[in-house]
Copies of this chain bind each other. A is one copy, B any other.
């Protein structure tokens, strides 16, 4: 059994708890939190510890799955824990991945452990599919579309506007743009042509709805470059119709082969997810299995999804995989 520890108990941590509880080859040792452990109760009843307890439990844990945020938690936490533990994180600040990698790599090498960073679906499975498709079709173009799905960051940005009680923002790919790529037309697409944004807003009583709508639609970076629709709804409607955290998207590569570039090919990878955090957790758990195996082989250092042979992710043996899946 692979003994898993969870650091951080938000949506992602709960998703990992669930995924581990359903994995035949894994068991959950505990949840580690910076909060007072007495205030945290887990869904499966697994023990909750304060972070400080980790040091003493080094021999009880095979892989730590770090479920904190990329803005404030992971940049420090992953590197700190990587010396003493095999660790997996879902660090998703694309621009800062190289420096994060270097820091975590040094720590892992020093402690002879394995770390795998930026695991999930983007970065993660989408990145993998960009790599495979580029390697196969070097002469071509990449496209990534996100959604339909809830963007937490954009929802938060709306909530910060005066007079807004709650909000939910959906990112939606423009279907005509996706179709054009699927048809191998290699369109050049602006930000506005790729995605639209749809906002469901609960306003405070008496708030100026026109002002709120205008503040949303003109917000730089978040909304100004998009066609944005704003719907004002009641708190009840928000809870009833927009409680879930669906997401997904599609990675496409359109390329040509042949001496005269006469043959077109399109590779498409598409995710349709009812729960963004639970799917991300499922990917994290598969890579935790890989980290455990790589560490057993005596390997060390920081890896990404690019460095992990697929067979390490699956519970079946190489022989079974060749027989049943190849």
Q: Which residues of A contact B (CB under 8 A)?
A: 15, 18-19, 21-23, 43, 94, 97-98, 101, 118, 123, 125, 127-132, 134-139, 182, 184, 257-259, 262-275, 278-279, 281-283, 286, 289, 304-311, 313-315, 318-319, 321-323, 325-326
Which residues of chain B have C-beta atoms less than 8 A from A137's C-beta?
Answer: 282
A22-B139, A182-B272 as given contacts; A323 in contact with B259, CB under 8 Å: no
A136 with B326: in contact, given A128-B310, A265-B273, A269-B268 (CB under 8 Å)?
no
Whether A15 and B257, one on each chain, are in contact in the complex, defined by CB atoms closer than 8 angstroms, is: yes
Chain B residues with CB under 8 Å of A269's CB are 129, 267-270
Contact A131 B275 (CB under 8 A): no
List the number of copies, as a whole number.
2
Contact of A274 among B22, B136, B265, B313 (CB under 8 A): B265
Kindly identify which residue among B18, B21, B98, B326 contacts A127, using a CB–CB cutoff of 8 Å. Answer: B326
Cα of A127 to Cα of B326 in the assembled complex, Å: 5
Q: How far is the CA of A135 from the CA of B23 in the complex (A)?
A: 10
The reply to whether A22 and B138 contact each other, CB–CB distance below 8 Å, is yes
Residues of B near A322 (CB, < 8 A) are 97-98, 101, 304, 306
**CB <8 Å contact, A257 and B275:** yes
Distance (Å) between the CB of A182 and the closest chain B CB? Answer: 7
**A94–B321 Cα gap in the complex (Å)?**
12
Among residues of B, the one whose C-beta sits closest to the C-beta of A285 is: B136
> Across the interface, which residues of B come within 8 angstroms of A325, CB to CB?
127, 130-131, 134, 306
CB distance from A283 to the nearest CB of B (A): 5
Min CB distance A234 to B, Å, is 25
A309 touches B306 (CB 8 A): yes
Contacts of A131 in B (CB 8 A): 310-311, 313-314, 321, 325
Q: Which residue of B lies closest to A279 (CB)?
A: B265
Shortest Cβ gap from A275 to chain B (Å): 4
CB distance from A301 to the nearest CB of B (A): 11
Within 8 Å CB of A321, what residues of B? 131, 304, 306
Q: Which of A274, A305, A308, A323 has the most CB of B within 10 A?
A: A274
Tell whether, in the assembled complex, residue A263 and residue B258 are in contact, meaning their CB atoms are under 8 Å apart. no
Assess whether B43 is in contact with A326, with CB atoms less than 8 Å apart. Answer: no
Q: List 23 A-B contacts (CB under 8 A).
A: A21-B259, A22-B139, A118-B326, A127-B326, A128-B310, A136-B283, A137-B282, A257-B278, A258-B275, A262-B274, A263-B273, A264-B274, A265-B272, A265-B274, A265-B275, A267-B269, A268-B268, A268-B270, A269-B270, A306-B318, A306-B325, A306-B326, A309-B309
